[in-house]
Structure 1
Amino acid sequence: MKDVLKATGKISIGGLNKLFNHRTRMGIMAILMVNDWIDFVTLRDTLELTDGSLASHLKALVKEKQVEVEKRFVNDKPKTSYRVTKGGKKAFEAHLTELEAFIKLVDN
């Protein structure tokens, strides 16, 4: 753990990824980490979010290339699905590792 405890004995959270600090983005990433592709409606209903809130958080994750999007038509209806990218998976795992280390440090 690189940044949680410095020589001064002060606690730092500098190793955490700011992109994932919001609970909605954390929830999105957690769901995408255990699913191949998941559609917008399922994400929205699972996280109990409004369309607008989910869309804005997904937009941020897509912009930072943590998540990729696929738009297609199923039975003549548009269907938008998402999955985590390889880089997103690596970044989220690193974020969780830092978070776990921070919790262990604070807990002791």
Structure 2
Amino acid sequence: MRALIPVTLRTHRRGPGLADPRGCSLRVPDGRYVRHSAYRRRPDPGNGTAVFARDATFTARPGSAPGAVALESCSHPGRYVRHRDFALRLDPYRTGKPFASDRPFRHA
């Protein structure tokens, strides 16, 4: 399995989910929230809408490696944050090694 990507939970601050406090929302160091737009990760200052809150909320699921989590989208259940083509994307869940190795993140 490829190395787990060190971004997100190590370099971003994690807090309660904007749309669901049982989930989590992430912030980049300058305070903008991590959300997805067109299924790609994007830092955004937020606009207070319910759509933004859902796009910036993720549910931590057990990862495919010890000590890792997979981040499932609140606004698109069944889609997970995944590292592909040097970008973080929101892709539908798939079985198999490439998908399993591209979606785990380590806790910071």
TM-score where L is the length of structure 2: 0.29
Structure number with greater Rg is 1
Q: Going by fraction, where is strand more abundant, 1 or 2?
A: 2
